[in-house]
Chain A
Amino acid sequence: MRLRHLIALLPLIAAGGAAAESDNYVDIARGKALVTAGDCVACHTAPGGTPFAGGLPLQTPFGVIMTPNITPDNATGIGNWSANDLARAMHEGRRPGGTYLYPAFPYPYYTKVSRADVEAIYAYLRSLPAVSNSVNRNTLPFPFNIRLSMSGWNALFFTPGTFAADPKRSDEFNRGAYLAEGLGHCGACHTPFNAFGASKASQYLRGNQIDNWTAPNITNDMHAGLGKWSVDDIVQYLKTGQTRFSLASGPMKDVIENSTSKMPAADLKAIAVYLRERGAAGSPAPVPLASSDPRMQAGEAIFTDTCSACHMRSGAGVEHMFPKLAGNVVATQDDPASLIRIVVAGGRAAATDERPTSPAMPSLGYRLDDDEVAAVVTYVRNSWGNAASPVSADTVRALRSKVTRVGE
């Protein structure tokens, strides 16, 4: 009696498609938590569309891929898939019948997910309402539309296999590793790609530019990575999008809102322990640009006049509102893309129930020309103890054209 009452609270509107097969509330709830950790909804939902019904155009280096409908609709979704089929997709990147999936679906990471967890995910996906949404799955241009070529790619760049715990590490570390390396697929954004769009294993988590944003180095590197962050800082960041240093914006803000802010604190702590303990890797700190450099002089004038009201002359920021720029890891990444685009296009912090304000960085692209953006960004990267490469007006110009496209 009670179980059925509880199930009634879940979205179980069985309109067409398979009825909820499993009466197993525990599995479905566990699957829901895993799907949250994997942030499936972020890719498998079209803008303004029904969650999990697919249709989001994913920009890849090889063209646009439309994400599939993973609701249990028989005709347009995965209603006909078995648990084995799902496991094969996640572990091997293959569909029922053997065709290859593109690694835009991060199966090189999901391969680590245990079979038991895959089955829980399966139970949850089956419990969703079936939505009829036919997605065109063949949008890549020639020759990338030849899926068979993925077999070669897989041979070179993909090693299947579920996660194996490291007996030398703590349980907590291994839990964090399992989450981050598997469902979390952090490396899919935070690791540089090679020319074939595969993550460069040797540079794992050392930072990447993706979709004109900088996904920073999240190794434990003192200069370039999370070395100055405590475990608690990382947990806070994943939970709320805010720490004493920083406010998340851009794609990570979406990850926080859709995924990590809804994960249990113990899991977030495990991920934080994993990131802190697996080691540091980053390039050595450059020497900061001298304040007498003309770019720094111009940058200081601009910063004083248009940035300091929020970020303070000292770069200290305001807690919960304006990121601290002094010692800010995103600001000093080798790749300045996020910094530039935030100045030009603006940005908005994560909004959660606890902290709904989501303060927004105003767009200043209309006010500052390319030289001025380059100067102020260079200034931020080299003041208050920060040290990073200066930024040229050409870099700004190139990025500006990408982030100010109409409809962006």
Chain B
Amino acid sequence: MVDPDGRLPRRREDAAVAAKLKHSGVTRRNLLASAALLITTSGASARVITKALPWRPNEADPVTPVVPGGYLFFTAGEAAVVDAIVDRLIPTDELGSGAKDAGVTTFIDRQLTGPYGGHDWLYMQGPFSSNPLPSQGLQSPLTPRQQYRQGLAALESYCKANFAGRSFIQLNADEQDKLLAGIEKGEVKFENFNSRMLFGAIYANTMEGYFADPIYGGNRDMAGWKLVGFPGTRYDYRDVMEKPNQAYALPPVGLGGRPAWGGH
């Protein structure tokens, strides 16, 4: 096939000559092509790549480590309730720290301030169906932030109405457990809010916060990882493969390191 410029497609043998001609300087075509690509974006990676693999020093995309202390989304009241709930879901006991002591409430708080909290990456265009099939998954227009704000408020109303004016944090452990179990099974219904949605969100976020890298504010001192024996981010287990069915001895390490690294 001969194109309008009269060029024939070249095979490997001719490529050497072709390469020489192209390397010999800036051809008019290259100039025109590169000038026409006015790709102006804010993202550092939006680019045209030719001739060489791009590389820059200091290029990495780390997450900003969560600094614990205070809450950026939860009110003090909300945080106290979340603390209490996660403490029931994963209590502190002889197997080690539970979710509350592991910082899960801080984890959830910080997650809610990020793209997860607003479902920023999800498809949130309407219309939203009010009776989706279970197989169609998440169909609620409520973002996690809304779910927590509205859900926790609904929980408070429910408690006040059904426990003689007491709020959730004033119930004893048994009462809290019973209530949570009821919500989980769908037997307890809130007014104006789907109680299972609140439980689902807190449960999922608790698992995340308990087992995610400590850099996100939860899994403090790698309590979750120590519970199961997960070594974290070590990234090289060839020694383990050489010794099947044997206990693993090294302590876990996270994205931010571990105490033996000696840093601050």
Contact = CB atoms under 8 A, between A and B. Distances in A.
Do A and B have CB atoms closer than 8 angstroms in the complex? Answer: yes
Interface of A: 9-11, 13, 50, 129, 294, 297-298, 301-302, 304-306, 308-309, 313, 344-348, 351, 358, 360, 362-369, 371-372, 375, 403-404, 408
Contacts of A304: 234, 236, 250
Contacts of B62: 366-367
Given A50-B26, A301-B262, A364-B60, 17 more contacts: A301-B261, A302-B257, A305-B233, A305-B253, A309-B235, A309-B236, A313-B239, A344-B58, A362-B60, A363-B60, A367-B62, A368-B261, A371-B263, A403-B57, A403-B58, A404-B58, A408-B58
B59 A369 contact: no
Interface in B243-264: 250, 253, 255-258, 260-264
Contacts of B45: none
Nearest to A407: B56
A363 B59 contact: yes
Contact of A302 (B57, B235, B255, B261): B261
- How many of chain B's residues touch chain A, expressed as a range? 20 to 34
Contacts of A403: 57-58
Interface string B23-40: 011100000000000000
Chain A to chain B: the 9 pairs with minimum beta-carbon distance, closest first = A298-B262, A301-B260, A345-B57, A309-B236, A372-B263, A309-B235, A369-B263, A305-B253, A11-B24
A365 B24 CA distance: 39
B58 to A, nearest CB: 5
A358 B257 contact: no
Nearest to A364: B60
B261 A305 contact: yes
Nearest to A128: B25
B128 interface: no
B55 interface: yes
Contacts of A305: 233-235, 253, 257-258, 261
B204 interface: no
A220 to B, nearest CB: 32
Nearest to A408: B57
Interface string B52-67: 1101011110100000
Contacts of B234: 304-305
> Which of B57, B59, B263 neighbours the largest number of chain A CB atoms within 10 Å of its CB?
B57
Contact of B263 (A309, A348, A368): A368
Contacts of B261: 298, 301-302, 305, 368, 372, 375
Nearest to B57: A345
A148 B251 CA distance: 65
A305 B236 CA distance: 8
Contacts of A365: 58
A269 B23 CA distance: 28
B12 interface: no
A297 B260 contact: yes
A403 B239 CA distance: 35
Given A9-B20, A305-B233, A372 B262 contact: yes
A151 to B, nearest CB: 39
B31 to A, nearest CB: 11
